[in-house]
């Protein structure tokens, strides 16, 4: 913390580089695969804070509930870590 601000590197997101979510797979599964691809490709590194739910929802055109579903699945897999008061980070 520095000046009451958390200074964690934010994982990059460019809404134009994120494709729309494929409906035939199920939106939650498709978004989970999209986030996992960002992690496994090395674009999002361990320790990076992931974009907000609002940012991901706007970039993909899905609801906040679907984004939360994808995040919870990746937390269950051990790919993401939620730190109360700080955010969600790549492990």
The pLDDT score that the predictor gives to residue 42 is 92
The pLDDT score that the predictor gives to residue 4 is 59
- Please count the other Cβ atoms lying within 10 Å of the Cβ belonging to residue 13: 17
Strands, DSSP E only, in the chain?
A: 80-83, 87-90
The pLDDT score that the predictor gives to residue 16 is 72
Residue 35 has pLDDT above 60, yes or no: yes
Question: How far is 18 from 59, CA to CA, in rounded Å?
Answer: 7
Instruction: State the pLDDT confidence band at 73, using cuts at 50, 70 and 90.
Output: very high
Q: Please give the average per-residue pLDDT across 57-74, as a whole number.
A: 92
- What is this structure's pTM? 0.74
Cα angle: 12, vertex 13, 18; to 5 degrees: 145
Between residues 26 and 31, the one the model is more confident about: 31
């Amino acid at each position: 913390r520095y000046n009451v601000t958390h200074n964690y590197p934010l994982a990059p997101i460019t809404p134009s580089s994120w494709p729309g979510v494929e409906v035939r797979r199920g939106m939650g599964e498709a978004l989970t695969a999209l986030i996992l691809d960002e992690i496994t490709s090395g674009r999002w590194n361990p320790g990076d804070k992931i974009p907000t739910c609002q940012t991901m929802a706007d970039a993909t055109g899905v609801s906040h509930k679907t984004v939360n579903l994808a995040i919870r699945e990746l937390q269950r897999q051990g790919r993401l870590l939620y730190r109360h008061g700080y955010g969600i980070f790549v492990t």
